[in-house]
Structure 1
Amino acid sequence: MHFKELSKSRYTTKKYDSSRKIPDFIIEELKEIISLSPSSINSQPWHFTFVANEKVKAELASLSFFNEQKINEASHLVVFSAIDDIARFEQQINENLPEGSVNYYNQFVKPLGDVAIKSWLQHQVYLSLGFFLAACASLAFDSTPMEGIQGSEYDKVLKQDGYKTLFAVAIGYRSTDDKNQPELKPKTRLPLIKTITTI
């Protein structure tokens, strides 16, 4: 399917068919795709936790406000985390990136201070979200990105070490009863003239 058509059909799923699970081989392909996400200087300051275990998924769902039902119904929950330990991040890039990339970080990012560094790291994880949602659509299943979760409580459940939960994405197959699907509730977007300028 053409990417524009995928964009038209992809939507934020509100209700999943809990009887359908995404096959393991597709999940493995999705893991490979998300690892190819773009990031500034190829910094990759992220960790992605794929939750298939129903008990753990239910525990995380209980920490997710109005998203609880979606998570419980979904096939999997994917938790997106950013590295929260600057020393660990600097060790990672020193061991894995070319000198020019490390120099960029040292010259332009590091002098900004810890708060700005962590914000920059988190922005890289957000870059991966759009990539991930498009990948889900291309693999013919549905997704629900959500910030409405208790990130610090997620960290405890997942025993995060040096990483901080930012958001999560429920994935699975839509229920035919989902009233939010584009066939029943057409997508609306602002006109291009209001959102795009050509110079």
Structure 2
Amino acid sequence: MHFLDIAKNRYSTKQYNPNEKLSEDVVQQLKEILRLCPSSINSQPWKFIIIADTQIKSELASISYHNLEKINQASHLVVFNVIDSVEKFENENLCKLPEGAVNYYNQHVRPLGEAGIKNWMQHQVYLSLGFFLAACASMGIDSTPMEGIQPDEYNKVLRHNGYTALFAVAIGRRDVADFNQPTVKPKLRRALEDVVDAI
């Protein structure tokens, strides 16, 4: 299938089939895909947590606003986390990068100050989200990106010191009756000429 066809058919799943679980082989592939996500200067200021445990998923679902049902139904929940300290990033990630990358960071990112650096790191995690959603779609895996979570509460549950949750993605197999799938509810996008210019 061409990627354009994948893009036309991919959508944010609203109802999952709780009886269809992703195989361990598929989950291992997704882990490797997350590891290979792109980031500016190869900074990789992230940690990804893939959750299959029903009890932990349920606990996180309860602190995810209107996403509770989707998380409970989905096969897995993937939590995207960012390094929460500039010092930690510089000591653990930046020091392993080549000289050119370090120079770019020192000249263009560090002058932004702590808030600017943290914002830049968060942008890298969002880059990985797009990569991951496209990968899922190419593998026939349904997904739902969710900013509707309570990050501080997620952090208490997951206890990954040095990282803070930004958003999550439910993954699994759609319920055949899902009202949001394109065959039932056509995609609504702005006109091509309104969003893309070619010069």
In 2, the alpha carbon distance for the partners of 1:82 and 1:30 equals 18
- Structure 2 counterpart of 1:172: 172
Contact 2:61–2:72 (CA<8 Å) still a contact in 1?
A: yes
In 2, the alpha carbon distance for the partners of 1:27 and 1:171 equals 10
- Structure 2 counterpart of 1:32: 32
Cα offset, 1:189, TM superposition: 0.9
In 1, the alpha carbon distance for the partners of 2:136 and 2:186 equals 20
- Structure 2 counterpart of 1:134: 134
The 5-angstrom pairing of residues 24-103 of structure 1 reads: 24-103=24-103
Cα offset, 1:107, TM superposition: 1.4
Cα offset, 1:177, TM superposition: 1.3
Are positions 1:124 and 2:124 aligned together?
yes
1:127-160 alpha-carbon deviations (Å, 9 max, x no partner): 0111000111111110000000101100110002
Cα offset, 1:106, TM superposition: 1.1
- Structure 1 counterpart of 2:146: 146
In 1, the alpha carbon distance for the partners of 2:61 and 2:146 equals 11
In 2, the alpha carbon distance for the partners of 1:55 and 1:111 equals 44
In 2, the alpha carbon distance for the partners of 1:24 and 1:120 equals 33
Q: Which amino acid counterpart does residue 157 of structure 2 have in structure 1?
A: V
**What TM-score, normalized by structure 1, do the two folds share?**
0.98
Cα offset, 1:94, TM superposition: 3.9
Contact 2:43–2:94 (CA<8 Å) still a contact in 1?
A: no
Query: Secondary structure of the residue that 1:113 maps to in structure 2?
Result: helix
Q: How many residue pairs align between the two structures?
A: 199
In 1, the alpha carbon distance for the partners of 2:49 and 2:71 equals 14
State the Cα RMSD in Å.
0.8
Cα offset, 1:92, TM superposition: 2.1
Contiguous gaps of at least 5 residues in structure 1: none
Query: Secondary structure of the residue that 2:93 maps to in structure 1?
Result: helix
Q: Which amino acid counterpart does residue 160 of structure 1 have in structure 2?
A: H
* Percent pairwise identity: 58
Contiguous gaps of at least 5 residues in structure 2: none
- Structure 1 counterpart of 2:159: 159
Cα offset, 1:55, TM superposition: 0.4
Q: Which amino acid counterpart does residue 61 of structure 1 have in structure 2?
A: A
Contact 2:45–2:93 (CA<8 Å) still a contact in 1?
A: no
- Structure 2 counterpart of 1:22: 22
**What TM-score, normalized by structure 2, do the two folds share?**
0.98
Cα offset, 1:95, TM superposition: 3.5
In 2, the alpha carbon distance for the partners of 1:160 and 1:105 equals 26
Contact 1:93–1:102 (CA<8 Å) still a contact in 2?
A: no
Contact 2:6–2:138 (CA<8 Å) still a contact in 1?
A: yes
Q: Which amino acid counterpart does residue 132 of structure 1 have in structure 2?
A: F
In 2, the alpha carbon distance for the partners of 1:157 and 1:112 equals 32
Are positions 1:7 and 2:7 aligned together?
yes
In 2, the alpha carbon distance for the partners of 1:138 and 1:198 equals 27
In 2, the alpha carbon distance for the partners of 1:90 and 1:10 equals 37
